[in-house]
Amino acid sequence: MGYADFLYFCNQKTKNNKNPMKEQIIESRIQECQLSELTAEEQKAIHLAIEGTRRSYTPYSNFHVGAGVILNNGQEYIGCNQENAAFPAGLCAERTALFAAGAQYPDNPVKILAIAARGTDDELTEEPVSPCGTCRQVIIETETRHSQQVIILLYGRRCIYRMEGIRHLMPLSFTEF
């Protein structure tokens, strides 16, 4: 079956289908703001993330990512990406911060997670940087574990993206098996 035949087949299938596919609209709420518009605690998390960019070990990509975590009890953690010549052995900033917090205070929920990055020019990125899929899944598990949404802040020099809960970045998530 060639491409044209495939298109004809699909069009005929659609025309003859008495039960068309249901369409769902999924919305994400992401606020775009400036540092001065955030609470003092959210600003602190951003500063922790920026500090984390200075602590990262990135000899291969030279892309420095930092994460700042604040728990409900006020404890603060800094995470940073750690690269390794065997690339799968490295770890992202978000996970280093979340795992450190979970190891020290396993029963205390994460309140705020902030992420910042520096490019190869050593400047903080102009636009906010988003967590990778693996980190998004870890954030989902963090929220699920404590039955509490995490305030997520993605820092960029131009603006900060703020959202209440990871599901705004990953609306179709895997939470159980």
- Annotated catalytic residues are 94
**Does residue 20 contact residue 12 with C-beta atoms inside 8 Å?**
no
CA–CA separation, 158 and 61 (whole Å): 23
Burial class of residue 172 in the structure, from the number of CB atoms within 10 Å of its CB (0-12 exposed, 13-18 middle, 19+ buried)? exposed
Strand duo 151-155 + 160-164: pairing = antiparallel
**Does residue 168 contact residue 136 with C-beta atoms inside 8 Å?**
no
Dmax over Cα atoms in the chain, in whole Å? 62
**Does residue 173 contact residue 140 with C-beta atoms inside 8 Å?**
yes
Phi and psi at 166, nearest 5°, equal: -70, -20
Amino acid identity for residue 119 in this structure: G
